[in-house]
Chain A
Amino acid sequence: MKKYRLGEFQELVLMTVIVLQEDAYGVEIQRNLEERLNERLSVGAIQTALKRMVEKGFLTSAFGEATQKRGGKRKRIYQATPYAHRVLHEMKDIRSSLWQAMPDLGLSST
């Protein structure tokens, strides 16, 4: 997994981007993720993850429309690359194979 260098938090942000589709811009991603994780995130944390993933080729981005709420600033809409999709799937496979390989210790919560 090491070659992808996709951290846990980055992975969450990446998946949120895919979930949100056309709505995937900074604060919207943050709102969505905060709801799911049930904790406060900072703009800095989200932005760092986004920028890092752009650098690594997981995301592309383009400016979207501006709104009054943003003080007239444009949104930047993010989109996952095919490469990102592939990496996500590989990670999921690795995880599920590990889950299957884990012995049942009677600790499952369900």
Chain B
Amino acid sequence: MSGTNNYIIPPKWPLKFLRFLLKEEYLEEIEGDMEERFRDNLELFSANKARRLYAWDTLKLLRPTLMRGLRGYYRVNHTAMLKSYFTVAWRNLLKQKAYSTLNIMGLCLGIACVLLIAIHLNDELSYESSFPKHECIYRVSFEGWAKSAPPMAEILAEFYPEIQQTARFYYMYPRILRYKEFQSEEDHGYMADSTAFSVFDFKLVQGDPQQIFRTPHSMVVTESMARKYFGDENPLGKVLMNNSTEFQVTGVVEDLPSNTHLRINFLVSMATFYKDIPENMTDSRGWMATYTYALFNEQKDVKKARERLPELLLDYYKEWGTPEEILAKMNWTFMPLDDIHLHSSLIQEMGPNSDIIYIYVFAAIGLFILLIASINFINIFTTQSLKRMKEVGIRRAIGAKKNQLLGQFLGEAFMVTLMASTLAILLFTLVLPFYNQLAGKQIVASQAFSVDNLLIIVGIILTVGLLSGLYPAFFVSGFSPLKALAGAKKPRSSAGIMRKGLLVFQFVVAVFMVVSTLVVYQQMQYFHDKKLGFDKDQVVAVNLFGDLKQKFAENGAALKAELIQSLNISHIGTASNLPGDGLSVESVVPDGVPEDNELPTVKVLRVDENYLSTLQIELKEGRNFSRQFNDSAAFIINETAAKLLNIDDPVGSYVTNQTRNLHGPIVGVIKDYHFSSLHNPMEPLVLEYNPNWNNFLLVKLQGGKIPETISGLEANIQKIVPNYLFNYQFLDDRINLLYQDEAKMSTLFKFFALFAIMIACLGLFGLSAHASEIRTKEVAIRKAIGATITQVVQLLSREFIVLVMIGNLVAWPLAWWAMNQWLDNFTYHVAIHWGVFAVASGLSLLVALLTVSYHAIKTALANPVDSLRNE
């Protein structure tokens, strides 16, 4: 052993740790061993490595044989002691009413928030789990489409022995149903295979499972729908009308749970599909019309099935090209049912799905709020326990072991946590309906307290109790008896490094959340205000179906003129789809392009001659459609399409829509307008002149008296077709729907950011109160000597303001990075403006200043005589 190394000493903290945790009778020997070992290591390795090894070895000493138990060694009267703990804890809570309230409130808010988030996440993650066979159900999708061709189900079932059953759903349109005089719009109606009932285990409440789907036009409705149309009458055998088709109710199923992507109000037998739709469609391999689900025998079969897919594709698409081409183009996938809600956003999903990213974001927010709340607790608890040094000193002096003190303070922390949790659960129940509305959920309190969720709740309470109790308990029990007694009169400075650090951390989180909220909000505003290239304001879209659709197809011009004349309307156009709808994807090819030269597909929209003027879309070249020119097949394309099709002089040139077999001239080019959501880049669009394909009437109102105009519109339309169910939406509402995910997130963000700041400020309030309190005498003396109130307030708040500012500085780059990541989701997005940071820091400083100055001013205003006399 060389003497040179003697000045190097092992790190201190592991030793403290050891002394605290190991049995006392073993300490001397083991400490000696550790020291000797350390010296040995110094000979072999660098000092740093030796220190690391020392620390590592210390951790490895934590074995039950060597550690002391948490119980003390002496048999004492435990009940009496416990009783004393409770009395002391309770008296202490009451003595410090303000702090106790702060502490309990902060924790209660935090726990309530986390409960909400936990229940929310639990609900999101539980999607589809209510179907018994959910793990073996897969959705077949095709090239980014949620739907697949009708014959696909049968082909799969034949090819794969592993597939037990397949089930298809075909969306029904139009959606108006009528029973006697009662009629209503019914979304979520599908034609379905009878196997759907066994694949998804829909619970049939009424009806014979063998008979329900025997014939075309049989219908099975959900219980709530049955109640809506038939009230207390027996639904079986009743007839519902859609348009001019009659459906006979043959069964009633239980309502589907809310946590599934399947939204079904009624199902109609698949035989209807084959009866009502032409054979060349139902047999088409290219018509992506049905949602196809396959039930595999076992989950592990799917892997094999995926491997054999190319085999099936090559056989199925034999005549479509070389094997390489087929495999490159024909991309079928089996998507697990359980993944659909969080991992799928294909074209034509059954409804809007959520995204896994939101799960992460929410989990992070929950964690942070929990941390902020716990930090508060730690800060307030430790500062308050400083006042109890005398108690600790006496307890130690008369023989309390560290463990007992640890137990006592941990117990107190748990007591407070438990009180806060009880309140939090109460608060949670109160807030739940409000939250459901914000988050678009349907969680009921009774469901929130299921066994699963109760476990989560207990877990959260335990975590918070431990998280927030451990440090203060160690802190307090670590007082040496002598110091504790001697120092009992004057606790030292209010904020140790630990407390300062924690405070800074809280504000980092709070500022981060404020910045994020502002950026999300700005992005939402951007969506709202972005020039879309057309005028969405004061445009009403009326659903056309049945007789009315027919009448507008036959005699549109006259009907439109009549409406414009009698009402406050400037334009009326018709269209097959609204902006934001998924458009038909078709192949449009200019004349003269060689056949093997493949052009990408374009989106096609069918409109009449008034579409452009109604939405005020700008023509760049050429002319609008017109009845005069007898445009039997004519096209207008957008700029992107012109570029894509690579036509030098588009107006006047001829194109063929190969998908629909239409040949006609391009009569005009329009400026690009955002016909789909701003998540996507601009796509090529072809407008086709077709007044018969009129699913929507677009009505441009002329400003003012909108309600009157709309009721006038309804009256007029019902004059044309009596009893017509007038169904309309505002175009801007429709467009806002595209961003409802973000809108929801924005609201929730606001909600939680508010909470975060509130909780952080509660902590600041507690700390500043304490800081002012212990400096009362100092302030009094300063005032007596002649300090002004302003000077005193400055003195007391400076420290906190600096900490909040540090929090800001740390939060900025973090928030900037995170929000840039988020904004990258959108093709069109705002740039992060420095003002956002200014607002966030201004806000946090202001709130912090207000919080702190309350105590500072109170202390500053106090009469120095009062505080000094108490000496």
Contacts and interface: CB of A to CB of B under 8 A. Distances in A.
Interface of A: 25-27, 30-31, 42-45, 47-48, 51-52, 66-67, 69-71, 73-76
A43 B61 CA distance: 7
* Residue among B1, B28, B36, B65 with the highest chain A CB neighbour number at 10 A: B36
Interface string B37-57: 101100000000000000011
Contacts of A51: 26, 65-66
A52 B60 contact: no
B707 interface: no
Interface residues on chain B, size class:
20 to 34
B705 interface: no
B1 A47 contact: no
Nearest to B64: A48
A71 B32 contact: yes
A30 B569 CA distance: 95
B37 A30 contact: yes
A74 B31 CA distance: 9
Contacts of B61: 42-44, 47
Given A27-B37, A69-B36, A42 B28 contact: no
12 contacts: A27-B33, A27-B36, A30-B37, A43-B33, A45-B60, A47-B29, A48-B63, A51-B65, A52-B65, A73-B28, A73-B29, A76-B29
B62 interface: yes
B34 interface: yes
B586 interface: no
Nearest to B9: A71
* Residue among A30, A31, A51, A70 with the highest chain B CB neighbour number at 10 A: A70
B63 A44 contact: yes
A66 B34 CA distance: 14
Interface string B424-438: 000000000000000
A47 B39 contact: no
A75 B32 contact: yes
A44 B36 contact: no
Contact of A69 (B1, B26, B60, B65): B1
Interface of A is mostly: helix
Nearest to B3: A68
* Residue among B29, B56, B61 with the highest chain A CB neighbour number at 10 A: B29
Nearest to B29: A76
B30 interface: yes
Contacts of A48: 63, 65-66
Contacts of B29: 25-26, 47, 73-76
B366 to A, nearest CB: 37
Nearest to A73: B32
Interface in B45-104: 56-57, 60-63, 65-66
A43 B27 CA distance: 13
Contact of A73 (B35, B57, B66): B35
A69 B10 CA distance: 12
| Top 7 A-B residue pairs of the complex, sorted by shortest distance between their CB atoms | A73-B32, A70-B32, A44-B60, A26-B33, A44-B61, A42-B60, A71-B35
B465 to A, nearest CB: 29
B57 A27 contact: no
B57 A70 contact: no
Nearest to A46: B33
Contacts of B63: 44, 47-48
Contacts of B31: 71, 73
A30 B29 CA distance: 14
A51 B805 CA distance: 54
Contacts of B34: 43
A74 B63 CA distance: 22
Given A48-B63, A51-B65, A43 B37 contact: yes
Interface in B717-772: none
Nearest to A61: B29
B30 A26 contact: yes
A70 B35 contact: yes
Contacts of A30: 33, 37
A42 B40 CA distance: 13
A44 B63 CA distance: 7
Contacts of B62: 44
B39 A44 contact: no
A71 B65 CA distance: 24
Nearest to A55: B65
A25 B32 CA distance: 10
Given A26-B33, A70-B36, 5 more contacts: A43-B34, A44-B57, A44-B66, A52-B65, A73-B28
Contacts of A43: 30, 33-34, 37, 57, 60-61
Contacts of A75: 29, 32
A45 B39 CA distance: 19
Contacts of A52: 65
Contacts of A71: 31-32, 35
A52 B65 CA distance: 7
B250 to A, nearest CB: 70
Contacts of A31: 40
Contacts of A42: 56-57, 60-61
